[in-house]
């Protein structure tokens, strides 16, 4: 991302350009398993954001905080690309530092009080300490599992079961989300 211009309206254009790049980044896990024309990171991020906000409201959580976390959760991928968990695991510290720098750069193009909220939301999400962070991370996995179920039913591709069962494992701490995910593959 280019240096912030100091004009926060111009900063919105910079953020828009970054968000737009996510439309072009295809989800790597689907590509590796032979899904033709898979969803983009932007598709995934929209679903995570919408589902997170709705569920936050149902559960009485801080909706604004959840929205900030969900919106920004994959934004660094506009620059890094969509890395699979195994790719991230190999270089976890390097990638965390890189993502932190990307998020800092993004938030610097916002008015200070707004940027600080987004940077703090990012850090809480990474630390996984708040109920809001836990919810966004659960929804991130839930959405992946729901998408896997959709692709499995559409294509019959059994390689996608690995992703589906990974999501099942990730959401099993929430019985309602687990039930939703299990129904998605059966129906």
User: Over the stretch 66-82, which tens digit does the pLDDT of each residue have?
Assistant: 999 999 999 999 999 89
pLDDT digits (tens, 9 = 90+) for 2-28: 444 456 677 788 889 989 999 999 999
pLDDT at 6: 53
Q: Does residue 14 or residue 179 have the better pLDDT?
A: 179
At residue 175, the pLDDT reads 96
Give domain limits for the chain. Answer: 8-131
Q: How many residues does the chain have?
A: 187
In whole numbers, what is the pLDDT of the chain averaged over residues?
A: 91
Model pTM score? 0.90
Torsion of CA 136, 172, 91, 115, to 10 degrees: 10
Distances (CA, A) of 173 to 30, 135, 142, 167: 25, 11, 12, 11
CATH superfamily of 8-131: Hypothetical protein af1432 (1.10.3210.10)
DSSP state of 160: G
**Model pLDDT for residues 87-126, shown as the tens digit of each residue:** 878 788 888 899 999 999 989 888 899 999 999 999 999 9
Minimal CA–CA distance to 61: which of 49, 53, 69?
53
């Amino acid at each position: 991302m280019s240096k912030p211009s100091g004009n926060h309206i111009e900063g919105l254009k910079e953020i828009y350009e970054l968000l737009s790049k996510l439309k072009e980044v295809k989800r790597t896990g689907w590509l590796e398993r032979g899904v033709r024309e898979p969803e983009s990171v932007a598709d995934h991020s929209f679903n995570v954001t919408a589902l997170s906000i709705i569920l936050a409201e149902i559960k009485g959580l801080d909706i604004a905080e959840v929205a900030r976390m969900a919106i920004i959760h994959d934004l660094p991928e506009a620059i890094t690309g969509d890395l699979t968990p195994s790719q991230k695991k190999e270089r976890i510290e390097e990638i965390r530092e890189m993502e932190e720098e990307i998020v800092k750069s993004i938030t610097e193009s916002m008015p200070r009080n707004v940027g600080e909220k987004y940077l703090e939301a990012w850090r809480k999400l990474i630390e996984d300490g708040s109920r809001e962070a836990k919810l966004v991370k659960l929804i991130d996995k839930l959405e992946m599992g729901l998408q896997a179920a959709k692709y499995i039913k559409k294509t019959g591709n059994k390689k996608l079961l690995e992703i589906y069962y990974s999501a099942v494992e990730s959401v099993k701490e929430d019985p309602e989300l687990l039930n939703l995910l299990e129904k998605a593959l059966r129906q």
